[in-house]
A and B are shown apart, each in its own frame.
Chain A
Amino acid sequence: MNILISTCSQGLIYAILALGVYITFRVLNFADMTAEGSLTLGGSTCAILISNGVDPISSVLISSMVGAIAGLATALLHTTLKMQEILAGILTMISLYSINLRIMGKANVSLIGKNTIFKMVGNTQISSFLVGLVICSLLLLGLTWFFKTQIGLAIRATGDNEQMMRAQGANTNLKKILALMISNSICAISGALISQSQGYSDVNMGTGTIVIALASIVIGEALLQKDSFIVKLISVVFGSICYRFIIFLVLTLGMNPSDLKLFTAILAAVLLSLPNIKKVIKRGVKNVGN
């Protein structure tokens, strides 16, 4: 039972990251590598604030704003300097490595003995599950509302068909900047909560997390195939929780923890290519029929 709850709550905290990545990857159609950097940025900012006595909730909020700045950096590299999206993200991500070391002053900051959001609500496994659940639900509601507004719709349409949006009188660069800022501030919130939940922040905590987020997104899409926007967001959260259970399962089956990143990457690759594999199989069957 305890393992069940702790796996779920970990899934919920990482679901926040997956939701952030979903905004760029699926809604804006922008492969944003900044996410890994802004997750660590959120974690290190939050850890340093808390260890200096700032209350945990304000620390999370400040971290999210700092994350938005990271998103802005990538967005400006892409929109004003016309850099390729992947390259823009990688440049920001790499710069953030140094910036995170600057923020923390060392490679990791411990939160042992400090107050965290999880301690504020009782520091039991159930309570950390509830914290994750509440934050995820708020985020789901907020994002569903936002992407139904005029600005949100314009962002979705920009990801869908940028040329059309410009022809419809929208400054698509502004839409991209906004979406990247929102996405990275959400990634930073996730990082802030991860550091509070594990009790420390580490300069390498972001490495490979974008693959975890992608895996969660595609697992969710494989589970729930619905057209409505809120269901798509919910499927991301489900995907993240499922991912944690899959990891738990393979670890109990005896997989070496150091192989997890490889396993996650293969899982994401297989699920991402599933639609194409299905097509090939269908075509193959047809050819045999002919």
Chain B
Amino acid sequence: MLEIKNLCKAFHKNKSDEKVIFEDFNLKIKSGEFVTIIGGNGAGKSTLMNLISGTIFPDRGKIVVEDRDVTKLPEHKRAKFIGRVFQDPLKGTAPSLTIEENLSLSMLRNSRRTLSFGVKKNNSEFFMKELEKLNLGLEKRLKTKVGLLSGGQRQALTLLMATITKPKILLLDEHTAALDPSSRDKILNLTNEIAKDEKMATLMITHNMEHALNFGNRTIMLKQGKIVFDVKGEEREKLDASEIQNSFNF
């Protein structure tokens, strides 16, 4: 599904403050995998996501999605098969547009935008059904401006918008870090439901060791741009959160 080959990335290249993030980095993720990514600040977690999504481009190496080399594809073109949720709940939605308008925009992800009306009547039933799954009562507020929603509600909406067209890859960059505990749990459970999709690969960055082990089916740890730790299956189930925290002390 997703394959990263010999990836190299440095910031401020050829300058005195050059910072090498990745050197010959390799990673393979199969569809149906839900990978949680842990690692200290500066380990390259967010850079990895930005490289996969096309916000930044690698110096060398390849990024392949389903046998297709996407290394040079710009961000908006990769968005056709990559869904993203950012840490900041305000980043994933357009506040002055309504819930319905936001969802309509995300429905158009795979198609060319035309001069037909953006909000289609026959979509609203589908939207309501999808919003009902969030369990936040948003299905009754299709015409509400997104700016009036809480951070948790906006993040839930972002998650729905990121996955409404069934992407191949879902990137979650600490998407619950800015939420209160009850919204956080809601979003995590929702993420878990969505990530069960066998055809999709999910990557989730988290700083919470328990979340990293309790959610998903594979955990990798990054340190200075290298995978220092990659577990799945039984081996992973035996792991204890505090144990990792201590042994890698970050």
Binding site for B on A (CB under 8 A): 146, 148-154, 156-157, 160-161, 163-172, 227
Q: Chain B nearest CB: distance from A33 CB in Å?
A: 24
Residues of A within 8 A of B115 (CB): 146, 149-151
The 25 sampled A-B contact pairs (Cβ below 8 Å) are A146-B115, A149-B114, A150-B104, A150-B108, A151-B114, A153-B104, A157-B97, A157-B102, A160-B97, A161-B90, A161-B94, A164-B91, A165-B94, A165-B105, A166-B75, A167-B75, A167-B86, A167-B162, A168-B79, A168-B161, A169-B80, A169-B108, A170-B113, A172-B76, A227-B145
Pick from B36-44, B116-124, B220-228, B232-240 the stretch touching chain A. B116-124
The interface bits of chain B over 82-107 (1 if a CB of A lies within 8 angstroms of the residue's CB, else 0) are 00101000111111110001101110
Q: In the bound complex, do residue B97 and residue A153 qualify as a contact, i.e. CB atoms below 8 Å apart?
A: yes
Residues of B within 8 A of A154 (CB): 105, 108, 113, 118
Q: In the bound complex, do residue B118 and residue A152 qualify as a contact, i.e. CB atoms below 8 Å apart?
A: yes
Q: In the bound complex, do residue A160 and residue B116 qualify as a contact, i.e. CB atoms below 8 Å apart?
A: no
Beyond contacts A148-B119, A150-B113, A153-B101: 8 other A-B pairs, Cβ-Cβ < 8 A, are A148-B117, A149-B114, A153-B104, A157-B97, A161-B90, A164-B93, A166-B79, A169-B108
Q: In the bound complex, do residue A167 and residue B93 qualify as a contact, i.e. CB atoms below 8 Å apart?
A: no
Closest-by-CB residue of B relative to A29 is B96
B118 interface neighbour in A149, A169, A170, Cβ under 8 Å: A149
The interface bits of chain B over 54-95 (1 if a CB of A lies within 8 angstroms of the residue's CB, else 0) are 000000000000000000001111011000101000111111
B95 interface neighbour in A161, A170, A172, Cβ under 8 Å: A161
Closest-by-CB residue of A relative to B83 is A167
Q: In the bound complex, do residue B114 and residue A150 qualify as a contact, i.e. CB atoms below 8 Å apart?
A: yes
A146 to B117, CA, bound (A): 8
B53 CB-CB contact with A under 8 Å: yes
Q: In the bound complex, do residue A167 and residue B92 qualify as a contact, i.e. CB atoms below 8 Å apart?
A: yes
Q: In the bound complex, do residue A167 and residue B97 qualify as a contact, i.e. CB atoms below 8 Å apart?
A: no
Residues of A within 8 A of B118 (CB): 148-150, 152-154
Residues of B within 8 A of A153 (CB): 97, 101, 104-105, 118-119
B168 CB-CB contact with A under 8 Å: no
A161 to B108, CA, bound (A): 17
What is the size, in residues, of chain B's interface with A at 8 Å between Cβ atoms? Answer: 35
A151 to B79, CA, bound (A): 17
B245 CB-CB contact with A under 8 Å: no
Q: Chain A nearest CB: distance from B18 CB in Å?
A: 22
Q: Chain A nearest CB: distance from B12 CB in Å?
A: 18
Residues of B within 8 A of A156 (CB): 94, 96-97
Which 10 A-B pairs rank lowest in CB-CB distance, beginning with the nearest? A169-B79, A153-B118, A160-B94, A150-B113, A157-B94, A169-B109, A150-B118, A149-B115, A161-B94, A167-B84
B93 interface neighbour in A152, A161, A170, Cβ under 8 Å: A161
Residues of A within 8 A of B105 (CB): 153-154, 157, 165, 168, 170
A166 to B108, CA, bound (A): 12
A163 to B109, CA, bound (A): 14
Q: Chain B nearest CB: distance from A233 CB in Å?
A: 14
B123-173 with Cβ < 8 A to chain A:
145, 161-162
A163 to B94, CA, bound (A): 10
B214 CB-CB contact with A under 8 Å: no
If A149-B116, A161-B95 touch, whether A167 touches B79 (CB-CB below 8 Å) is yes
A148 to B113, CA, bound (A): 12
A161 to B106, CA, bound (A): 13
Closest-by-CB residue of A relative to B82 is A167
B189 CB-CB contact with A under 8 Å: no
B110 CB-CB contact with A under 8 Å: yes
Residues of A within 8 A of B75 (CB): 166-167
Q: In the bound complex, do residue B97 and residue A163 qualify as a contact, i.e. CB atoms below 8 Å apart?
A: no
Q: Chain B nearest CB: distance from A143 CB in Å?
A: 13
Q: Chain A nearest CB: distance from B28 CB in Å?
A: 24
A166 to B161, CA, bound (A): 13
Q: In the bound complex, do residue A170 and residue B76 qualify as a contact, i.e. CB atoms below 8 Å apart?
A: yes
Residues of A within 8 A of B84 (CB): 167
Residues of A within 8 A of B90 (CB): 161
If A151-B113, A153-B105, A164-B91 touch, whether A169 touches B96 (CB-CB below 8 Å) is no
A161 to B76, CA, bound (A): 14
Residues of B within 8 A of A227 (CB): 145
B94 interface neighbour in A150, A151, A164, Cβ under 8 Å: A164
Closest-by-CB residue of B relative to A156 is B97
Q: Chain B nearest CB: distance from A12 CB in Å?
A: 27
Q: In the bound complex, do residue A168 and residue B106 qualify as a contact, i.e. CB atoms below 8 Å apart?
A: yes
Residues of A within 8 A of B117 (CB): 148-150
Which has the most chain A C-beta neighbours within 10 Å: B105, B108, B119, B145?
B105
Residues of A within 8 A of B113 (CB): 150-151, 154, 170
Q: Chain A nearest CB: distance from B71 CB in Å?
A: 18
Residues of B within 8 A of A161 (CB): 90-91, 93-95
